[in-house]
Structure 1
Amino acid sequence: MNQPKKMALIAANLAFFIIVGFFVYQRFGIYLNNPWTRDGQVRAQVIQVTPRVSGTVIEIAVVDNQHVKAGDLLFTIDASTYEVSVQQAIANLERERVSSKGAKIEYERLKDIAAKDAGAVSDKDMIRREVNYQQSLSRITVAEQNLIAAKLQLEYTHVYASVDGYVSNINFQIGSQAIANQPILALVDEHSFWVFGYFQESQLNKIGMGNAAVVTLMGYPDTPIEGRVESMGWGIAPADGTVGYNLLPSIKPVFQWIRLAQRMPVRIELEAIPDNINLRFGMSASVLILSEEDSP
């Protein structure tokens, strides 16, 4: 190989390594100049499904970890007691209507007598009949509301999913006793996923609201997810100062030459989620916050 060709080959190789080195340095500089953490976690809204009435579970329409749509039946509570309550409320309403009808007849009769002969009926009797009639109307209103309440309780024996998501932690079975206002299973809202990145307190001054973020899940290392800084935490629970022996505050010893930075939560709103990624509550993630200069 003659000298010009050799020099040209060396120059081409040198240019190639310079270009590669530049891109490597640029990429490495992003991690040096922008806050990042490997301490991240996927979160989502978890709805504690709570029955509004008590009773025996007679049907479970889902299995653990099943995907459901909003409005899908989750489980059914024995409705026999509430069906009886509805019938009782209907009968009570009918009784009040009949009673009110009689009170109205008595009131109207006295009004007709008073119209023909003003002295035939005392004011006291007229007022008493009117009051009885108005009270009967009020009792009808109360009975109507009681019927509505009884019908609602009957409807509450069927428990439905309030959002699209995944059923979790079904630890009851047919025959179990459901207690009103006590959670019985969890429902993970599939449209509510976000990521918490726990950044050292010394990095917070480099993070701004709305900054672009890159989230890399441990389970999907080759598929980064784009996001934005949605909010930053304003406090964490202190480890020191909790009640210890003899109700005295428990304080851990701190060595002056070892001071660990506290980590504060930064909430990342996820943007377009790739189709091949299935987000799950609690997954581990790395989070890189890009400055305005490095944002796309």
Structure 2
Amino acid sequence: MKTLFALALGTMSCAAWAQTPATNPMPDGSHDMYVGLGAIAAPRWQGAESSKVSALPVLQIQWSTGLFISGMSAGIHLSQNPTLEFGPLVAIQPRRDESGLATGVGGTGGFSGDVSTAGPPSVIVGTRNRLAGMNPIPTRPMGGGFFNYYLAPQWRLTSSILYGAGSERHGGLLDLGVQRLVSPLAQPHKFSFSAGVSVANRAYNQSYFGVTVPEAVVSGRRVYPAAGGLKDAHLGVRWNWALSPEWMLTSNLLATRLLGSASNSPLVERPTNVTVSTAIAYRF
């Protein structure tokens, strides 16, 4: 099966991990579905020093028509060319409040978004919460598309663009990356390596890294007008272990480094974050 297995880790980087599952040729009228459960340890928000461990449901479905659902994203493969993948893409941008980002649903080859969260807003790990006084950012549906190109069977250039995030729904994210799939002699084990960068427009960075005058009055932080541009660079490693034809254990390590205006935000405690997850999924 050609599917490029990967546990979705969009909790902290969203569009950067809105990766589409690879085209999976199958008989007309058929589908391929994975359902599972795991755990994820991720920063509380983009640039947070503290992390939280949460349960991570896993869901991915692909249909022979090209339609797919992967975690909290969905799209359609429109290309008939085996070296090209493109089509529309929709995803969920997580809610952020004073407790940070929420935890959502992952997939075996795509994006993980978030839904909602609640918790103590004032103190995290003995320090004053930098999100205290910031306006909550609701969960936002984002729309756009993806375009991937295979340089070789094991190498894939990836790109996606999504729009609609942030306080005013005008936030946009562009992700550019490369993936390398490695299948050692022990066929049950598959490794994939990825690297990429995310570019955000001003509306996105202002929502997630900026501080407005009213927020500065409430929080006591300085006013910070965030600019658009490079938002982060990210590196990922995935290990997938086929325990049987039906069961798969998938683990992921993602390192993200905030850049530019995002990294200089007074809301950022640490510009480099690491996210780790593992899950077991059953194939129907």
TM-score bracket, shorter-length normalisation: under 0.3
Q: Which structure features the higher share of helix residues?
A: 1
Higher Rg of the two aligned structures: 1
Q: Which structure features the higher share of strand residues?
A: 2
How does the TM-score come out when normalised to structure 2? 0.20
How does the TM-score come out when normalised to structure 1? 0.20
Bigger RCO of structures 1 and 2 (CA < 8 A, at least 6 apart): 1
